Chain A
Amino acid sequence: MSVQSPALGRVHREGAERLAVIDTDVHPRMTPTDPRFNPLLPQRWRDYLDLIGLRSGELEAQVPRQRPFASRTDAMPPGGGIPGGDPAFAAVQLLDAYDMTAAMLNNITAVSWARGTGNHPVEFQFALARAINDWHHAYWLEADPRWRASINVPWEQPAEAVRELERCRGLSDRFVQVLLESRADEPIGNPRYWPLFEAAEALGIPIAFHVGGNRRMTASGTPSFYFEDHCDFPLRNFNIVASLIFEGVFDRFPGLRIAFLEQGWSWVVPYAWRLDASWRALRAEVAHLQRPPSEYIREHFWFSSQPMEEPEHLEWFVEVLAMFEDFGLADRLMYSSDYPHWDFDAPDEAVPLTLPLESRRRILAGNASALYGIPV
């Protein structure tokens, strides 16, 4: 297999200026039998894997992806393995190719394995979460200073999730975020999850939501096609936002910041109108809220860009971005590539060159720099 062509990657420039790029959504991946990963598990759970094997938690993959691992075919590492499995190759194909300042590792495979509930022993899931974070630390963060990592936690078991979060922050301050799946056993604002929010707020790191392979894909059944499933990713956002706001999470944890990854962003302003209307109509029911829902959205939410919104006319893109920015969210949209997946967005193609330079600077790096404390 040939190494990727340099022509595929481009340094992002505006005249003589190199525009900094921070990629907020990159997907590393490993198999539990990977000789780099497997030894990170305790012997008890290596034996369990030998005996039982990994029963896929990725039930969403029952709707088969259109390519192996939903990935770019050129992302297969030349040295073998799977897309996202070779840190050095990913650094060449992504970080070097686009001269990125930093990129965030979001391990959504592991999100499915180590939720803290499901068809594996809970202690095994705890061990998987630890091993995954150790793998990110040893093979990615230590290998290249440009990587940042989200922390995988078994969030359905919040006490252990908090322990793991604090352990990872002790390993490296380049663990800068907590990664959750966009579906949980209960609406995510439920008080049972609050210990995790309390810990994230205390550490000053955001909670991110990304789609992963959870069990329940819609409230009314399972999509039949990958096309359908992929269109439906953002529908999980609506319960997350409503639950966090109406349960009073932000009144209790005013420093908490939430990032939506690969979940779209053009829905945010219309949904804020709807949330505010719901609050006005049912205000007495949620009298504990201090302010209208839209104000919590302005204060607490960030969004990654990929797959970049693609209205039917380019001028509508300008309108939808203007609606988002004018709503008070100009510092909330963050470039992401989704490497190594098939619907990869390159920084110089996904963020229209027709946008004002200031907007492009914010989207490509500035907003993520501020959220995650990454210098540019």
Chain B
Amino acid sequence: MSLAGFSGAVIDCDVHANVPSLETLLPYMAPVWTQWTRERAWKGPLGVATVYPPNAPTTARAEWRPDDGRVPASELALLREHVLDAGNVERAIVNCYYGVDSVRHPDLGNALASAINDWLIAEWLDKDERLAASLVVPARDPNAAIREIERVGDHPGFVQVLLPVRSDRLYGSRIWHPMYAAMAARGLVAGIHWGGTPEGAPSPSGWPSWYAEEYAAEWQVYMAQLTSLIAEGTFQAVPELRVSFLESGFTWVPIWGWRMNKEWKGLRREVPWIDRPPLDIVRDHMRFSIAPTHGGSADDLATVLRWLGTDELLLYATDYPHLHDDDLSALLASLDEDGRERLMAGNARAWYRL
């Protein structure tokens, strides 16, 4: 793993733990689900393959795909070999996207989310003290999500709640606020992450044909979620709430913020709870992982970093085992020494209180 010459401490804010197969989770579920799945020969949620097509080069770097056919990133040993022991990794935050949101059966969705969390505790958090994790919730149902947060959210290894960026209701919507209060009460960050299988197409205009097309255009749903979080007064309703955007890119953030600032000047009487320029609220309450970055030249990237207004917003991540066409050295070259340390570890340490 190349760190572009960086030799300081590293906190990797987005490494994946992939569920090897449904069989892995069944021991963590009530026996009825073993019976239920075997009767139907059900192999698990379809959402994960929709979101991360299994064979796509972006789904796992070639060097991170086990030769023996094991699912990439599905065992702690692989994560250790490829990430934890390969660099100066102080902590890593494990995210598991298994497409639980694509399951419509409410009890099965709840059972799967709980099983994943118990598996994360047993097979990952308890076995390597460098790890922290995002807990998985049945993200279609805020009340069920709250119950799961109450069940495992006090475990010291969980620092975040993973929410797939595609949702049926925008994440600023008031129906989510009690869930955010439950997170904030436990110091958990809301990690809005690539994925999700809401009703209808994953774009305002139908189903993209190509994965390259969908991948590039996915900014649009992160943007809609960001605007919603600001517009609804989410951060006024739950002042302690912190939100991370993961796999979102960040070069769009200052531009999107300027537009929100401008519209706020014209329309703020409609949303009087927004008591200062929206981009300032973003800076106080949100962070962005750097995988992917998708920056232009080093000069261009330096310009975008300046527009962000502070070097405290970005969180280093590999997004292991996913592949993005990124150049970490350009990003590091755009920062001074303090900024590099903040990017690689300091920001995450403070944000996740590690």
CB distance from B260 to the nearest CB of A (A): 5
Would B225 and A186 count as touching, CB distance under 8 A? no
B205 contacts which of A216, A271, A286 (Cβ < 8 Å)?
A216
Q: How far is the CA of A275 from the CA of B214 in the complex (A)?
A: 10
Partner of A231, one of B56, B206, B227: B227
Please provide the chain A residues from 198 to 232 with a CB less than 8 Å away from any CB of chain B in the complex.
214, 216-228, 230-232
Is the beta-carbon distance between B170 and A220 smaller than 8 angstroms? yes
Known pairs A219-B201, A312-B258; A277 contacts B169 (CB<8 A): no
Chain A nearest CB from B57 CB (Å) reads: 6
Proximity bits, A312-356, B CB within 8 Å = 1, else 0: 100010011001000000000000000000110000000000000
> With A226-B270, A227-B263 known to touch, is A184 a contact of B206 (CB < 8 Å)?
yes
Instruction: Select which of B218, B270, B279, B306 is within 8 A of A225 by beta carbon.
Output: B270
Q: Are B251 and A232 neighbours in the complex by a CB distance under 8 Å?
A: no
Contact B217 A231 (CB under 8 A): no
A126 to chain B, nearest CB (A): 22
Residues of B contacting A264 in the complex (Cβ-Cβ under 8 angstroms): 255, 259
Let me know if B267 is at the binding interface, CB within 8 A.
yes
Contact status B220-A236, CB under 8 Å: yes
Knowing A235-B204, A311-B254, A319-B303, the reply to whether A342 touches B266 (Cβ < 8 A) is: yes
The answer to whether A187 and B294 touch across the interface, beta carbons within 8 angstroms, is: no
What string of 1s and 0s marks CB contacts (under 8 Å) between B275-304 and chain A? 001010000000000001011100010011
Closest chain-B Cβ to A316's Cβ sits at a distance in Å of: 6
Mask of A268-311 contacts with B, CB within 8 angstroms, 1/0: 01111111011111101110000001000000000000010111
Find out whether the CB atom of B231 lies under 8 angstroms from the CB atom of A225. yes
Chain A residues whose C-beta falls within 8 Å of the C-beta of B295 in the assembled complex? 273
- Among B168, B256, B269, contact of A220 (Cβ-Cβ < 8 Å): B168
Chain B residues positioned under 8 Å from A241 (CB to CB)? 217
Could you tell me the distance in whole angstroms from the C-beta of A234 to the nearest C-beta in chain B?
7
Chain A nearest CB from B331 CB (Å) reads: 13
Stretch at the interface among B16-24, B79-87, B311-319, B321-329: B321-329
Most buried by A among B168, B202, B227, B295: B227
User: Interface stretch among A164-172, A242-250, A252-260?
Assistant: A242-250
Cβ contact within 8 Å between B324 and A187? no
A270-B208 in contact (CB<8A): no
Contact between A223 and B231 (Cβ–Cβ < 8 Å)?
A: yes
Report how far A188 CA is from B58 CA in the complex, Å.
25
Q: What's the least CB distance linking A289 to chain B, in Å?
A: 9
Residue from the set A183, A186, A187 with the largest chain B CB neighbour count within 10 Å: A187
Judge if B167 is at the interface, Cβ distance under 8 Å: yes
Q: Is B203 an interface residue (CB 8 A)?
A: yes
Q: Smallest CB-CB separation from B277: which chain A residue?
A: A312
Chain B contributes a number of interface residues (CB within 8 A of A) equal to 79
Residues of A within 8 A of B264 (CB): 227
CA distance A128 to B219 in the complex (A): 35
B109 near A: Cβ within 8 Å? no
Check if B334 is an interface residue, CB within 8 A of chain A: no
B212 beta carbon closer than 8 Å to chain A: yes
Bound complex: CA A30 to CA B91 (Å): 62
Tell me if A235 and B296 are in contact (CB < 8 A): no
> Is A33 located at the chain interface by the 8 A CB criterion?
no
Docked-complex contact A190 and B206, CB < 8 angstroms: yes
* C-alpha gap A139/B249 in the complex (Å): 48
> Are A310 and B206 in contact, CB atoms less than 8 angstroms apart?
no
- The smallest beta-carbon distance between A227 and chain B, in angstroms, is 4
- Bound form: Cα–Cα A279–B201 in Å: 22
Complex Cα distance, B221 from A273, in Å, reads 18
A246/B251 in contact, CB under 8 A: no
Q: Is the CB of A219 within 8 A of B204?
A: yes
Q: Which chain A residues lie closer than 8 Å to B309 at the CB level?
A: 312
Chain B residue, CB-CB nearest to A227? B267
Q: Which residue of B lies closest to A214 (CB)?
A: B204
Contact A309 B258 (CB under 8 A): yes
- Which residue of A is nearest B255, CB measured? A266
Closest to A283 in B: B212
Whole-angstrom distance between the alpha carbons of A320 and B213 in the complex? 25
Please tell me if the beta carbons of A242 and B58 are within 8 angstroms of each other in the complex: no
> Is B261 a contact partner of A312 (Cβ separation < 8 A)?
yes
Contacts of B88 in A (CB 8 A): none
| A–B pairs, 24, beta carbons within 8 Å | A182-B204, A187-B209, A216-B204, A218-B224, A219-B198, A220-B165, A220-B168, A220-B169, A221-B228, A222-B170, A224-B232, A225-B271, A228-B172, A228-B231, A228-B232, A238-B216, A239-B213, A267-B255, A270-B251, A273-B295, A273-B296, A282-B58, A311-B307, A316-B306
Apart from A219-B198, A236-B205, 19 more pairs, CB < 8 Å: A186-B205, A186-B206, A217-B204, A218-B204, A220-B221, A221-B173, A227-B267, A235-B204, A235-B221, A239-B220, A242-B208, A246-B213, A274-B292, A281-B58, A282-B58, A282-B215, A307-B263, A316-B307, A319-B307
